[in-house]
């Protein structure tokens, strides 16, 4: 009985080490501190440019202002909801309100 149990434990430990790691990114999505469990792969996002003076935010639906874009910059973006866009720019993720900022 002990050998069978030990065998099952060893098999389970080996199986767990063979499971590939899953990459997910947690991002705060609103001021209620809930988290988004995963981010869509960037290859499913839209590529384009964002205009200068566009305001960037750390969170949607809030006033967590991160700064503004100094000049027209290449970005990847996807629609988040209620007029907000999730933007990947210069290695970081931000939120932008309104679609008129992209070209």
CATH topology of domain 41-103: SH3 type barrels. (2.30.30)
pLDDT computed for residue 90 by the predictor: 87
CA-angle at 57, arms to 77 and 69, nearest 5°: 70
Reported for 66-69, long-range contacts at CB under 8 A and 24+ positions apart, including other chains, are 66/94
Neighbours of 28 (CB within 10 A): 16
List strand residue ranges (DSSP E) for the chain, in order. Answer: 27-28, 35-36, 46-50, 55-57, 65-68, 73-81, 84-89, 92-97
pLDDT attached to residue 77: 92
Q: Please list the rounded mean pLDDT of every run of 10 residues in the chain (103 residues).
A: 52 44 44 51 77 93 90 92 91 91 88
User: Taking the domains of the chain in order of start, what are their residue ranges?
Assistant: 41-103
- Looking at residue 42, its pLDDT comes to 54
Q: What confidence score (pLDDT) does residue 99 get?
A: 85
């Amino acid at each position: 009985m002990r050998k069978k149990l030990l065998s099952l434990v060893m098999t389970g430990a080996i199986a767990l080490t063979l499971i590939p790691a899953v990459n997910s990114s947690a991002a705060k999505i609103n001021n209620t501190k809930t988290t988004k469990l995963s981010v869509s792969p960037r290859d499913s996002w839209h590529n384009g440019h964002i205009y200068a003076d566009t305001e960037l935010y750390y969170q949607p639906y809030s006033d967590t202002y991160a700064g503004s874009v100094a000049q027209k910059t290449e970005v990847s973006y996807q629609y988040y909801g209620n007029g907000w866009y999730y933007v990947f720019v210069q290695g970081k993720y931000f939120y932008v309100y309104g679609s008129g900022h992209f070209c």
